[in-house]
A and B are shown apart, each in its own frame.
Chain A
Amino acid sequence: NAGVMQNPRHLVRRRGQEARLRCSPMKGHSHVYWYRQLPEEGLKFMVYLQKENIIDESGMPKERFSAEFPKEGPSILRIQQVVRGDSAAYFCASSQGVAYGYTFGSGTRLTVV
C-alpha cells in the first residue's frame, strides 16, 4: 500500500502558466481533500471530492482554481494563469469514510517565478 501519492513533489511555473497537481488516494479511499499551506501560515481547506463529484469547494478561490476526481485516474488540482501568491505547499489527503481518519500525501511545493 503506497499511501497517498502526490506528484510532482516540486513544481516551478512562470507567472501566467498553468499548474497541474496530481493526487492518487490510498487504495480503497473514495474521499479526497485538497489543502493549501501558504508560507508561514497554517493549513487551509480548499476542496472535498468524491469520485466524479465535488462535495464542498467552499475553500477554493473563485477564479483560476479548479479540481476534479474522475472515475479513473488521480485527482487533479488545476491552477490557471498562476501568480506569485499561488506559491505554496499543496497537500492532498484521502479517507475511506468518517470513522477512518485521513492519510496525507507528502505535498507539492509550487513556486511561481
Chain B
Amino acid sequence: KNEVEQSPQNLTAQEGEFITINCSYSVGISALHWLQQHPGGGIVSLFMLSSGKKKHGRLIATINIQEKHSSLHITASHPRDSAVYICAVPNSGGGADGLTFGKGTHLIIQP
C-alpha cells in the first residue's frame, strides 16, 4: 500500500511570495494528484500528472518518478490561494485504485 508524506504541514507567507509544497510517496505510481480544499469546502482537482511538469495559471506541478517525489509551486501568491493543498496517489500504485492522501499543507497567504 502506498504511503504519502507531505511537507510542510503548515505554511504562512506574504502575498507575492513563491510557494513550494513537497510530496513523497513509497510505491511507484501511474499518476499523482494535487488537490485543493478550502475550509469547510469541497475538493478541487488541480493536477493529475505522471511525468514532467504541468502549469495552470500561477500553479506549477512537477514530478520525478525515479525519486518518487512531486512539488506544487504557486507563483505570485495571493490571499485567495489560502487553502489546504493535498497530494494523493493510487492506493496500490496503479490501475483505477482509490487514492491515498497526504495529510495536507495548510497554506495561509497574508496580504
| Chain A residues close to B by CB (< 8 Å) | 31, 33, 35, 42-48, 55-56, 58-59, 91, 93, 95, 97-98, 101-107
Question: B8: shortest Cβ distance to chain A, in Å?
Answer: 15
Please measure, in the bound complex, the distance between the C-alpha atom of A12 and the C-alpha atom of B8, giving whole angstroms.
Answer: 34
The 5 closest A-B pairs by CB, nearest first: A106-B42, A45-B98, A104-B43, A101-B48, A43-B101
Interface SS of A by simple majority = strand
Q: How far is the CA of A42 from the CA of B35 in the complex (A)?
A: 12
Chain B residue total in the interface (Cβ 8 A): 24
A107 and B37 alpha carbons, distance in the complex (Å): 11
CA of A59 to CA of B88, assembled, Å: 16
Task: Give CA–CA (A29, B41) in the complex, Å.
Answer: 23
Q: What residues of chain B lie closer than 8 Å to A107, measured between beta carbons? A: 42-43
Q: How many A-B residue pairs have CB under 8 A?
A: 61
Q: Is the interface of B mostly helix, strand, loop or mixed?
A: loop
Verify if B100 is at the interface (C-beta below 8 Å from A): yes
Knowing A42-B86, A43-B86, A102-B33, the reply to whether A33 touches B42 (Cβ < 8 A) is no
Segment among B10-18, B74-82, B89-97 that sits at the interface with chain A: B89-97
Residues on B facing A (Cβ under 8 Å): 30-31, 33, 35, 41-45, 48, 86, 88, 91, 94-104
14 pairs, CB–CB < 8 Å, chain A vs chain B? A43-B43, A43-B88, A43-B99, A45-B100, A47-B98, A48-B96, A56-B91, A56-B98, A95-B96, A98-B95, A101-B33, A101-B48, A102-B45, A105-B42
